[in-house]
């Protein structure tokens, strides 16, 4: 991938991670669930430093789970 494409991918993932953090903070869930989701987002953030494409897939999976109402306490996200 060219450097401009890589930069665009990083920028896109960064924007989506920021939106995901805002969404998690606005959820009406227990503090334990919120912390578990934040930890997942931090892991994805760290992964993006090494493999942004994989991090984007992990973020997609996490957000899809949230959209479907799946949270970490039921072992599905």
| Chain segment 7-54, per-residue pLDDT in tens | 899 999 999 999 999 999 999 999 999 999 999 999 999 999 999 999
Query: Is residue 75 over pLDDT 60?
Result: no
Give residue for tokens 């931090």. 42
Confidence grade of residue 71 (pLDDT, cut at 50, 70, 90): confident
Q: Which two tokens stand for residue 37?
A: 């989701």
State the virtual CA torsion across 35, 46, 63, 57 in degrees, nearest 10: -150
- Structure tokens belonging to residue 11: 């920028």
> What pTM did the predictor assign?
0.84
Distance of CA 59 to the CA centre of its chain: 4
Under DSSP, the state recorded for 50 is T
């Amino acid at each position: 991938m060219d450097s401009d494409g890589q930069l665009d991918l990083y920028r896109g993932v960064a924007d989506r991670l920021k939106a995901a953090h805002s969404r998690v903070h606005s959820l009406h869930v227990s503090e334990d669930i919120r912390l578990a989701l934040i930890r997942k987002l931090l892991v994805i953030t760290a992964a993006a430093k090494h493999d942004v494409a994989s991090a984007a897939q992990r973020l997609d999976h996490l957000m899809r789970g949230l959209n479907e109402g799946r949270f970490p306490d039921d072992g599905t996200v």
